[in-house]
Chains A and B, each alone.
Chain A
Amino acid sequence: KQEVTQIPAALSVPEGENLVLNCSFTDSAIYNLQWFRQDPGKGLTSLLLIQSSQREQTSGRLNASLDKSSGRSTLYIAASQPGDSATYLCAVTNNQGGKLIFGQGTELSVKP
């Protein structure tokens, strides 16, 4: 049974700092991995999707890496801003079009 874990559960950093969020999964036979952002009272917004054959994806200040063999992914946020404050969720799918299996999220707070 696939399980996804995110560490830390909460993180507070000063503005401008670079930071890394961690995600681990128990079954390496994934189809893809996604990072989402969730703002309070809102739905989820997809940030980056990494196919199982890829090692990383970049979008602006965000970079996500994937190491399938070790069951790990990291989300790197460069030069953090207060607007980055949100909960970040990692999720994997085991097949195309399949359900997302989520971690419990990391609540990020970026202080001005």
Chain B
Amino acid sequence: EAGVAQSPRYKIIEKRQSVAFWCNPISGHATLYWYQQILGQGPKLLIQFQNNGVVDDSQLPKDRFSAERLKGVDSTLKIQPAKLEDSAVYLCASSLGIAGPDTQYFGPGTRLTVL
């Protein structure tokens, strides 16, 4: 069974530029999560989708971050414009959702460096 795929793996940009990350969850997984992990800290949820609807985006900085999950499968997370403090690893995870086991499966992450 293929795991959660993310791209790119690494991205370096200058502040005020824009960037987008892509996530392909495990086939059949209804729930998709985007987490931000700053160096030395645990991951923090940015947004959670159930199919293509948003369940929780309370910690998403909506003035600069946006995310979508078209057709309830792939998802993109965008930052525009980026700030220095956005330097982090962005992790995508998926799970079967409320009808199934709770285990979340994580992708390898995208490491973003903002200069």
Contacts and interface: CB of A to CB of B under 8 A. Distances in A.
The judgment on whether A and B are partners is yes
Interface of A: 4, 31-32, 34, 36, 41-46, 49, 89, 91, 93, 96-105
Contact of B42 (A46, A89, A97, A98): A89
A43 B109 contact: yes
Interface in B43-57: 43-45, 48, 50, 55-56
A97 B93 CA distance: 12
Given A97-B31, A100-B43, A102-B43, 20 more contacts: A34-B103, A41-B108, A43-B91, A44-B91, A44-B93, A49-B102, A91-B42, A97-B55, A97-B95, A97-B97, A97-B102, A98-B48, A99-B33, A99-B45, A99-B48, A99-B56, A100-B33, A100-B35, A100-B45, A102-B42
A42 to B, nearest CB: 6
Contacts of A104: 40-42
Interface of B: 4, 31, 33, 35, 40-45, 48, 50, 55-56, 91, 93, 95, 97-98, 102-109, 111
A84 B55 CA distance: 35
B98 A97 contact: yes
Contacts, number: 60
9 contacts: A4-B42, A34-B103, A41-B108, A42-B109, A45-B106, A97-B95, A98-B48, A98-B56, A100-B45
A3 to B, nearest CB: 11
A52 B67 CA distance: 32
B106 A43 contact: yes
A100 B104 contact: yes
B25 to A, nearest CB: 13
Contacts of A105: 41-42
A36 B48 CA distance: 19
